[in-house]
């Protein structure tokens, strides 16, 4: 009997609100971000899940989202492992810049390529492929074995670190993953087969709220 993997993108951060490239920078959740995390946590409570362990990144917005969700499901003291392997994609020289200012500096097309190509990184930063290259080994060694042993595992992380996981779990092509945005605070509940493929997926909320 295999377990359950729940992926949740953190709630809106202050820099999401200000339209800034965030990456490994460490802004707080906004009031809306706290509400989004709470809504996701309540959806999981209604779903009736109890977790055996939680994983999150080394960044505060994901850690706070994780904590809020665990409070909502009545497990505030659950063991939580933090690791920078789950961090957001590193935007390098773009980090902290307003997206419109970046377009003015480098051009609309170049910034679009950096944001939306699969394997072209921004200056000093990571592509989505680079992000997956650190997320996947960590998933395979630290997270997946727990799910396959029957545990229920929460992963509260970031848009791009989770997209790199979803790409493989949902068997998406490079083109399909580029079109996928993950809504903030919306839990994705995966049931896995013994061979680690997906047997069922439930999305507990509206994915169209992505930004």
Helix (H) or strand (E) holding 17: helix 14-17
Q: Which residues pair with 54 in a beta bridge?
A: 80, 154
Helices (H), 60-107: 60-72, 99-106
Which residues are tagged catalytic? Answer: 10, 88
**What does the buried/exposed string (b/e) look like for 76-108 if buried means 16 or more CB atoms within 10 Å of the residue's CB?**
eebebebeebbbbbbbbebbebeeeebeeebee
User: How many CB atoms within 10 Å of residue 52?
Assistant: 17
Q: Are 186 and 1 in contact (CB under 8 A)?
A: no
């Amino acid at each position: 009997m295999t377990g359950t993997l729940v992926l949740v993108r953190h709630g809106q951060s202050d820099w999401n609100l200000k339209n800034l490239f965030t990456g490994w920078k460490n802004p707080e959740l906004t009031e809306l971000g706290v509400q989004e995390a709470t809504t996701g946590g309540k959806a999981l409570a209604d779903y009736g899940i109890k977790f055996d362990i939680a994983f999150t990144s080394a960044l505060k917005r994901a850690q706070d989202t994780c904590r809020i969700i665990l409070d909502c499901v009545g497990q505030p003291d659950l063991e939580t492992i933090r690791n920078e392997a789950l961090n957001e994609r590193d935007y390098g020289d773009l980090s902290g810049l307003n997206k419109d200012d970046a377009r003015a500096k480098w051009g609309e097309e170049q910034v679009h390529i950096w944001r939306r190509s699969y394997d072209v990184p921004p200056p000093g930063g990571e592509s989505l492929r680079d992000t997956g290259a650190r997320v996947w080994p960590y998933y395979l060694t630290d997270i997946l074995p727990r799910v396959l042993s029957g545990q229920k595992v929460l992963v509260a992380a970031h848009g791009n670190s989770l997209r790199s996981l979803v790409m493989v779990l949902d068997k998406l092509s490079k083109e399909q993953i580029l079109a996928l945005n993950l809504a903030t605070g919306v839990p994705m509940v995966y049931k896995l087969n013994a061979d680690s493929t997906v047997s069922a997926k439930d999305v507990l909320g509206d994915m169209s709220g992505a930004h």
